[in-house]
Amino acid sequence: MTRPILARIHPDALAHNYRLAKQHAPQGRAMAVIKADGYGHGFLQVVAALPEADGFALLNSENALTLRDHGETRPLVLLEGFFDVAELRACAQAGIGVAIHHEAQLRMLETTPLPATAAPLTVWLKLNTGMNRLGFRPQHAEVVVARLRAVSGVRLAVLMTHFATADEPAGIAAQWAAFAPVAQRLGLPVSVANSAAILRHPIADTAWLRPGIMLYGCSPFAEQVGGELGLRPAMTLQAQLIGTQTLAAGESVGYGAIFTADKPMRVGVVACGYADGYPRIVPSGTPVLVDGQRSGTVGRVSMDMLAVDLTPCPTADVGSTVTLWGQGLPIETIAAAANTIGYELMCAVAPRVVRCIDPD
């Protein structure tokens, strides 16, 4: 047996969440977003769990090439496009779609002969409508489109943009107003909707949805957890107790001795620390489930261990299961305690934590 910590991946939850995204936008097709190793779930496992997905959006061509090598034939798109000429050629050769968001990429496209034997390279043209990270300004769209259409071996397929505040009261109205007329003039299929837009804005019912976080069961909204949106957690981070201690009143546990027992208490030591991706910043009392019973952390999270209060679960002992987040304990709860969002916690689950596919 190895060190007892696992990220249990729930393929049924992934499939359910994907279907829910499509229900919100029945006209749309959906690129499941699997960047950051499938938001920490393992991108190959996520793809395997989504036989109904219409395609996949990701960041690095290595992962996309791996999918092609595994025989994946569905559309793939690199959300930041290619970073150099070699990568551009590799994408063209392997039939990997690319976003184009910058003049530098456009020039590479214009000056790089693409493999003559390959099918046309699928290009998603990205417009910056207010996020101000990536993309051409809407007023330049027509010129860029004309230049793209002049490049042989390129198929301009989609006009895309990305919303900065789809999850917030500001919403998407201003960005949509900048985008929609250009899209209409150009007559291209569009792709605008991340999870928040899919769940909250009917405008999301467009050609290519881009659901990310919702596939993994986590809410994109600060004020709601995934379960309240009908989502199911796709990962349960689970470890075991590897030790127990009985503290006398006045004794403390862990580095810095920041937690002191005010009465005699049993604590359990869990095989999970910040080197596994559990956030060090969380305070004592951050919820955990010990053998399914709700309890809380005590003291500082260390690199490989953390301690939990066994008062609510007196029969717990070495080998007891501790759920850090997932089924029965929303990741959003832990994220809030760590002053961050579920996205960051999932993506930070360390490579040393084995991802195992849950049979149920």
Report the catalytic residues.
35, 255
Residue 207 or 290 with smaller CB distance to ligand PLP: 207
Q: Could you give the CA distance from residue 127 to residue 259 in angstroms, rounded to a whole number?
A: 51
| HEC string for 302-317 | CCCCEEEECCCCCCCC
Residue 269 or 345 with smaller CB distance to ligand PLP: 345
Residue with smallest beta-carbon separation from ligand PLP? 212
Q: Could you give the CA distance from residue 315 to residue 293 in angstroms, rounded to a whole number?
A: 11
Q: Could you give the CA distance from residue 279 to residue 348 in angstroms, rounded to a whole number?
A: 9
Least Å from the CB of residue 337 to ligand PLP: 21
Where would I find the H helices in 135-284? 141-149, 173-186, 195-200
- DSSP track, 59-96: S-HHHHHHHHHTT--S-EEETT--SSHHHHHHHHHHT-
Least Å from the CB of residue 209 to ligand PLP: 9
Task: Judge whether 179 and 161 are in contact, CB under 8 Å.
Answer: yes
Least Å from the CB of residue 193 to ligand PLP: 8
Least Å from the CB of residue 204 to ligand PLP: 11
Q: Could you give the CA distance from residue 1 to residue 250 in angstroms, rounded to a whole number?
A: 36
CB atoms within 10 A of CB 171: 17
Residue 195 or 320 with smaller CB distance to ligand PLP: 195
The footprint of ligand PLP (CB under 6 A) covers 33, 35, 79, 162, 194-196, 210-214, 220
Q: Could you give the CA distance from residue 85 to residue 10 in angstroms, rounded to a whole number?
A: 38
Least Å from the CB of residue 155 to ligand PLP: 20
Residue 193 or 270 with smaller CB distance to ligand PLP: 193
Least Å from the CB of residue 18 to ligand PLP: 12
Picking from 330, 345, 226, the residue whose alpha carbon sits closest to that of residue 282 is: 345
Residue 24 or 35 with smaller CB distance to ligand PLP: 35
Residue 161 or 295 with smaller CB distance to ligand PLP: 161
CB atoms within 10 A of CB 150: 9
